[in-house]
Amino acid sequence: MRFVLSIFLMLTTFFYAQNVQLTILETSDVHGKIFPYDFVEGTKTGHSLASVKYYVDSLRTVNPEGTLLLDNGDILQGSPAVYYYNYIDTSSSHLYADVINYIGYDAGTVGNHDIEAGHPVYDKFAKTLNFPWLAANAINTKTGKPYFQPYHIIERSGVKIAVLGLITPGIPNWLPPSIWSGIEFIDMVRSAEEWIPVIKKKENPDIIIGLFHSGVEYTYGGTTRETKRNENASLIVAEDVPGFDIVFVGHDHHGWNEYVTDTNGDSVLIIGPTSSARDIAKVDINFNTETRDFNISSRIVNLGNAPESEEYLTNFNPQFEAIKKFVDKPIGKLTADICSGDAVIANAAFTDLIHKIQLEISGADISFAAPLSMNTCLEAGEIKVAHLFDLYKYENLLYTMRLSGREIKEFLEYSTSLRYTNIASEHILKLRLEDGKAILNSRGKASPANSFYNFDDAEGINYSVDLSKPEGSRVTISEFSDGTEFYSDSLYKVAINSYRGSGGGGHLTKGSGIPREELNSRILFSTSADLRYYMINYIEQRKIIKPLETQNWKLLPEAEAREKLQKDKLLLLGSE
């Protein structure tokens, strides 16, 4: 009996010595979703890092040594929770750093929206993490070496894992140079080709993981596989740079779980969750320590209704209350309802309020702005800080730029071409169509063919958009709104957000025809804080805000355009 038991124990020990079970988890694009609570709406939600904490702990209880947790960036933007610790309470330790240290991450990659927070925020943040923040292709222009750590080695149960971090190199297309000064973002393929041989020679890892804050669809925005510094190059790297076993992705909020083949004929898993801690990517690895071979299984785990860690919520309740107090602070009163959906369709009080604030802050002649949410309404009555996150969604700076009259017209022509078709069409809004019919979602609503946040209009000038004319020759600027003349060959001061002013959306480059490398020289002034900060101050000072649609621009022919717009509005926004 003892002999049989000894043989059983020997065989059991031998089996488990040969096979190591690893689980690698990835969060991405959490965008400040620290709590299961919407600070803007004042309501509880069903997903947050509280559920991530509960889920990860449940796996660590079963396999503490073999459970790894990675984050793939875009964590410092998207919620009042991170805004408060980025810009308001800057003396306390950053809540998000405290949270992810508490959860126990093993490595992370920097995202473009983390860079957007600015040097004072992300430089300090990186130093407070208990794990490395990676980005091999973000190069320090003074040293020529990575600004952040390029890769990280994790050893668990005799298995050596290398994690190479890459960030989308599109940042200079969206963010002002002051925010990423001293950093060059090089092509992801070029960086991977440089670092994979280094990692293999120096570290000799068993598994190589890519942790890329970059999407998978490399044709997004009209780019191609050959486009240098492609924003979404994760698939290209996985296929063209042999050596990766798993590539964790993010940035595009898509949700991926598929295999591709690299140039050596080896399979590479591409996987990534969506956003806001709604789900988590899970990769299980069965590793044979004798042969050094391994098998992989993977899935995206939905955390929408997962349990929450009560210990986590209790631990960070003081910070929760501090954020809630900030967003609930009354700052003024609104005399009428304003809705972003109206601004998606045409001229509206929603964007005209943004224009008014931009013009007063900048002292510019003209303002460009677009709705940054699809169908958000601010109701008449008390305005709280929370409402400003609906009025202006992103942490853009405000630029004052020098543009010619011709460039202003061409900017508007470009924006118009993104939003409207021809008056003879059934739909004059450009909608997503199939066989000439609007594609409706599960709620019976259509979607714009192009991104609504690129539907800029102008304030400070009077103009018309004639939809009976071909694209490129629709806009006629008659005069400034104060009656002074507008000249195509004169130079004017234009208020514009930093995303657009840095080339985002293509309005200045493709539309106005300004070379991207020339954009910085056109900037006359930039705010030091984000536009929302100035909006809060603006409302606090004036107390009573009377939104007004200035009607400084119109669609032609008016009667026909108005009738068709009403039909399209019902398709796009519904009857509410």
Q: Give me the number of domains the chain comprises.
A: 2
Per-residue pLDDT at 442: 80
Question: Residue 315 domain-assigned?
Answer: yes
37-45 contact pairs (CB < 8 A, 24+): 37/320, 39/79, 39/80, 39/81, 39/323, 39/324, 39/327, 39/386, 39/389, 40/80, 40/327, 40/386, 40/387, 40/389, 40/390, 41/386, 42/328, 42/386
Q: Identify whether residues 270 and 336 lie together within a single domain.
A: no
Q: Identify whether residues 563 and 483 lie together within a single domain.
A: yes
- Give the DSSP letter of residue 293: -
Q: Identify whether residues 316 and 335 lie together within a single domain.
A: no
Closest alpha carbon to 396 in 364, 418, 372, 375: 372
Residue where one domain finishes, among candidates 266, 291, 323: 323
CATH value at residue 103: 3.60.21.10
- Dihedral angle over CA of 489, 495, 500, 505, nearest 10: -60
Closest alpha carbon to 75 in 323, 250, 291: 250
Whole-angstrom distance, CA of residue 98 vs CA of residue 316: 9
Question: Residue 523 domain-assigned?
Answer: yes
Give helix then strand counts, H and E, for the chain. 17, 31
Question: Residue 43 domain-assigned?
Answer: yes
Residue where one domain finishes, among candidates 323, 352, 367: 323
Closest alpha carbon to 353 in 328, 330, 376: 376
Whole-angstrom distance, CA of residue 471 vs CA of residue 420: 9
Q: Identify whether residues 292 and 164 lie together within a single domain.
A: yes
Q: Identify whether residues 338 and 249 lie together within a single domain.
A: no
Q: Identify whether residues 169 and 303 lie together within a single domain.
A: yes
Q: Identify whether residues 309 and 364 lie together within a single domain.
A: no
Average pLDDT of each block of 10 consecutive residues along the chain (576 residues)? 41 59 98 97 94 98 97 97 96 97 98 96 98 98 98 97 98 92 98 98 98 96 92 98 98 97 97 98 97 96 94 98 98 96 95 97 97 92 96 94 98 98 94 89 89 97 98 98 97 97 95 96 94 95 95 96 93 75
- Amino acid letter, 221: G
Q: Identify whether residues 458 and 367 lie together within a single domain.
A: yes
Q: Identify whether residues 420 and 498 lie together within a single domain.
A: yes
Per-residue pLDDT at 510: 96
Per-residue pLDDT at 49: 98
Q: Identify whether residues 289 and 335 lie together within a single domain.
A: no
Give percent of the chain with pLDDT exceeding 70: 97
Q: Identify whether residues 240 and 377 lie together within a single domain.
A: no
CATH value at residue 512: 3.90.780.10
The residue range of the domain holding 374 is 330-573
Per-residue pLDDT at 575: 57
Q: Identify whether residues 375 and 266 lie together within a single domain.
A: no
Sign of the C-alpha dihedral computed for residues 254, 248, 453 and 113 taken in this order:
positive
SS (H, E, C) 74-142: CCCCCCHHHHHHHHHCCCCCCHHHHHHHHHCCCEEECCHHHHCCCHHHHHHHHHHCCCCEECCCEEECC
Closest alpha carbon to 494 in 363, 351, 350, 347: 363
CB 70: neighbour CB atoms within 10 A?
Answer: 25
Question: Residue 208 domain-assigned?
Answer: yes
Place of tokens 């973000």: 138
Question: Residue 448 domain-assigned?
Answer: yes
